[in-house]
Structure 1
Amino acid sequence: MTDPLRALAPVTIDNTTFFVDEARPVAVLRRTGQPDRVVSWPRLNVGIHHPQTLLHRAGNALWVSYSPWDSTSDERYPALCAPQDMAAVRIGLEGDLGFVQTAGTKILGVTNEGLWTGSSPFQAIDEDYHGGPEPSGYAYPDTLQLHRPGQPPLSIEFDRHLFAVRQRGQSIEVWLNPSPPITHPDQAGGAGYEYRLTRIPLPPLNSIADALRFRDLVPQGWGEPVSEQELEQLEEEYLEPAQGDPGLIDLQGMVGTHWELVELSAVQREQAIAAVADQFSSLEQFWHDSSGEALPLTEGLSDAQCQVVGRWPQVQVVVDFHHPHYPQGILRRSFQVFDEAGRVHLHSYAGINLMEDLDTGDLPEPGQAKDGVLRI
């Protein structure tokens, strides 16, 4: 029996190639002519929510970041309304590990100096701004932070919304929005929005001020714009799972290659199950038309049932119903409420995703049913 590493897209820095598991706290470093090196971080605290894993390439290290895949601010489940934690692992070229944890921030990028975050997730809209000079007194505060393992963060206050941080040769530059988005009203009563994006070289870090103003750096105009090509390259940096096979990397018998269980209270477990199951509690009365009549999630759905099976962390919400796609039996969709570490996986929009699959017919063939149940 094998225990294969399921790698995200491999990343090569100098002559070291990194294979990071898409769900587990483990990476393999490979160099030609040398044995593979395995590193892991099973005790890293990434919060109570199932995380999204992203890779970030610097010139001297690979960063692996973890942020909540889905979380909630729903007042019905207050025990799950945890801060938006972010944790990151820095893997050096020799396999040395460093760790960073922060809350309420978004990742702007990585450079050789470390990992950069901003405090403002979105750029605010000003419906009255249609171009030209920025509104009098305009400012949109954001906090730039540089995180380095084992050191307190370096903080710099900006008066503009920050979009990204990038290494450009020997210098570091920040990409920011110098003005509100330009509002373009349409004839239907809506609007489109055009975003300016400017690059600003940062002063040397050993002499940088703790606050920077855009107009002190760019007295007139909007500065050097970021090109569309650069934006496309930025999107490509957030690497998706590999399409190719790096060859079998067998982790069988290796200690520390699985997450340790998190601590969840009984209330958190109960509310996590409820948050998933409640999405399917009224599938036959999911919508209401203009007259108030209740309608099912999708046409033809009937006799829906939702049950919870298993014990933490192996808990599933199982949804059964009848549907014309398989009239002689039942359709079933199951949801794992917790991941292997016991963290909460809310499956946001699971009901809508089910509706789309039923409406489009994106379903297994009825011939794949077993014992009168077609798992979808």
Structure 2
Amino acid sequence: MKKQLLAIAGAGLIFCANTSFAKSTIGGIIFTNSFYESNDIGNTTLDRTVVDLANNSRLRVRWTNEDNVGMYIETGMGDSVAIRHAFGTWDINEQWQILAGQTSTPFAPLNPDVAMVNNSGQSVGNVSPGRQSQVRFTYRLQNRKGAFAFAFLDPNTGDTLVDNTNTQNNFRTPIGIKSSVFPRIDVGGAYRTFNWQLFPGAFVHHQTYDQVSSNVVDDKLTIWGASLGLRRGFGSWVIAAEYGIGENWGNTEMSQRGSPAGNNAGAIVFANSNGSLGIADSTNQNYWIDLGYRFTAGQSQGIIHFIAGQSTSEVDDLGDDYSSSMLGISAPIDLPWIARGFRIRPEIFYFDNGSDNVISFADASNPAIRNVIEIDSGSRTIIGVQLQYTF
């Protein structure tokens, strides 16, 4: 018995010694959206009320040990369960860190404060590249001036180029097998100067296709983007903004889905007059501005965000032109002295999907002839409140 007690005591000491150097936290957020929306879809207006658990509700776990090795896992919960973040880090020293796993990339790191619909301004102004698998190296500047990072990402993502002139049973045939040799490269930085925070970024992705047919004039596609974000506070006011420009964002992994401009952000394969197939690049621009006013009233404190943004995708060679925008107010309000962890967020937003989008399409009798039409893609207005519980 004495030996057993000594063994148990020894194991307990070893466990305490190990856990004394390690740190772990577990938490989560529940978002519930409740809003009225009015959808104008041309000749018809559809109105409805929504009460729904938001898909970005999450459970998260963080762990670090005495060797500065850490892990973070965040699972999204809503209509389905999916991994949002899952990565490990090693802080090699005070300057360098290596990260591997799935998370946001160094490119275009800022987000406008939009919560319930088109979350974070997705497809209506936000430049966000989304959360992707990567290997990333970060260098921190001294005196907390900022940091710079570069990451290697999977290049085999995004929409595949298809032959729009070869349609069988409404199925468009890919021009070839997508197989990229070099990874996508994302770079980004955060730098503080004169009370401003600056966030420059860029990425490049060279996509290749194997086994293409002889009438395809090119088997390569270049996808790129550049962005600049900024943020600063002026007393009770805070401003944040980001601008991004690039080409063919639909053919790589980006958080652009959800609007005509975002859904049509990729290159288009078209027929030349000689019967060969060419590739027309899509030019993409996204920008947003978020002006916030911080306040304290009674037992509450919060910030009122005034937000505007726009996404555009244009294919100049074919005449395609899509525009989608947002304008609205979001006001997260906390009750830190009476209900810590509870937040209420009133929101009102107007999302314009584009009243004069221009779409090109091949003539049925002669694919080399392209016609264009102008359409009104409608709009969406939402008014409601999001309830948030954070632990």
TM range (shorter): under 0.3
User: More strand per residue: 1 or 2?
Assistant: 2
User: More helix per residue: 1 or 2?
Assistant: 1
